[in-house]
Amino acid sequence: MGIFTHSTVSRKPNESMRLIVTTFVGIVFGFFIGLSFPTLSLTKLNLSSRVLTTIDFKYTEYKKSGPSSSSSVPPSIGNNGSSVNVTSKIWVPSNPRGAERLPPGIVRAESDLYLRRLWGKPSEDLTSTPKYLVTFTVGYDQRKNIDAAVKKFSENFTILLFHYDGRTTEWDEFEWSKQAIHVSVRRQTKWWYAKRFLHPDIVAPYDYIFIWDEDLGVEHFNAEKYIKLVRKHGLEISQPGLEPNKQLTWQMTKRRDDCEVHKETEERPGWCNRPHLPPCAAFVEIMAPVFSRDAWRCVWHMIQNDLVHGWGLDLALRKCVEPAHEKIGVVDSQWIVHQSLPSLGSQGEAQNGKAPWQGVRERCKKEWTIFQTRFSRAERSYFKEINSTFHRTTN
């Protein structure tokens, strides 16, 4: 033990420690790349080989300059070199789960989607830090529509495309595509991607997050103006009004001519037993929702990993904000058209003589029932637990 407290000899163990840490990080990194590569082709983040060579290169550089020049040895992890107290251990319960052994100053619990360069000063990488995020789940066939939509979002937006048809490089025909983030996983749904790639800790810098379908007409929509209205009216969860068309839509999400924003409506007789509740208030549809950072943190947790179509989610959104009938609403003066183009539905599979879209539709309905059942069960068991705790403590 004694020799470890001596500063002169402490460098050797540190050096080997550094080696072990570097090797370990390398192995873990390699493992994750190996793990994620066959299933995900993050085409634009096609880093694997490049990153590995970079790490290799850095490591060699580091070895060359490291131990020989004693003056330039950086302080190693966990001690400043002058005195090593091997018995002192770090344990910070308030750190994120699993990171308790780290000094809080080094913990970065949240991330972002900002692109960085591989050279220069890290502090000078970012020329802009967009405050809003918009995601579209897309197939290449809808590129014209998406191109038109993206142009309605200013430079204050990070653009993220989820590709369900595996075609990504073709999108570079659009200039904006080169700055966008592309995630390509075949035949998955919007909510599948959202659950996997929009973790609240990853999208933490964004004030608002748009999670949109690909078949929306945006001629009468401007994203900056939309956000102004959402802020003004205190909407945590919102959507642009829908131009009424042949399709049956909810009264709640239909665009109105006479106001900026509405939060309540009247439905057909018998549909709304109670005001302030869906479908007459406190809900928006799942095709073009916009979430505030806080609302998304809650909604993300509510999304089920296996219920990929998100049916029923719209009616449950109100559980995430309080009071829901004031913080959920529809923006009328920036509105969209739902074009109902065939998209993911046609990516299903023909089974038992049924068309692909039929199988998808059936699954949607099934998922809706499952979601409702799960939710009410969860609520019941929560209240049961609360009640019994209450009785235990009062008796």
Site for ligand NAG in 9-48 (CB under 6 A): none
| Residue 163 dihedral angles phi and psi, to the nearest 5° | -100, 120
SS3 17: helix
Our CB check for ligand NAG shows the closer of 134 and 281 to be: 134
CB of 299 to ligand NAG, least distance (A): 25
Angle between helices 48-65 and 11-36 (to 10 degrees): 170
CA–CA gap between residue 74 and residue 91 (Å, rounded): 24
User: Does residue 376 bind ligand NAG (CB under 6 A)?
Assistant: no
88 binds ligand NAG (CB under 6 A): yes
The residue range among 31-39, 78-86, 104-112, 351-359 that interacts with ligand NAG, by the rule CB under 6 A, is 78-86
Q: H-helix or E-strand containing 373?
A: helix 356-394
Distance CA 240, CA 256 (A): 11
Q: Using the minimum distance from each CB to ligand NAG, give the nearer residue, 69 or 80.
A: 80
Kindly determine how many residues on this chain lie close enough to bind ligand NAG according to the rule CB under 6 A.
13
Residue 393 is a binding residue for ligand NAG (CB under 6 A) = no
Q: Read off the tokens for 356.
A: 């692909």
**From the CB of 24, what's the least distance to ligand NAG, in Å?**
25
Please name which of 251, 188, 240, 191 lies closest in space to residue 217, comparing C-alpha atoms: 240
| Tokens matching residue 131 | 């405050």
Q: Closer to ligand NAG by CB, 54 or 83: give it.
A: 83
Q: What ranges make up the beta strands (E) of 28-121?
A: none
Phi, psi of 283 (to 5 degrees): -155, 150
Burial class (CB in 10 A: 0-12, 13-18, 19+), 384: exposed
Closer CB to ligand NAG, 4 or 37, in the complex: 4
Between residues 196 and 293, which has the closer beta carbon with respect to ligand NAG? 293
Using the rule CB under 6 A, which residue among 87, 127, 393, 394 binds ligand NAG? 87
Residue among 65, 129, 154, 373 that touches ligand NAG (CB under 6 A):
154
Report helix, strand and coil shares of the chain as percent, to nearest 5.
40, 15, 45
The nearer residue to ligand NAG, 209 or 313, going by C-beta atoms, is 209
231 near ligand NAG, rule: CB under 6 A: no
Interface with ligand NAG includes 395 (CB under 6 A)? no
Q: Which of 16, 39, 49, 80 binds ligand NAG (CB under 6 A)?
A: 80
Q: Tell me which residues touch ligand NAG (CB under 6 A).
A: 80, 82-83, 85, 87-88, 154, 156, 224, 380, 383-384, 387
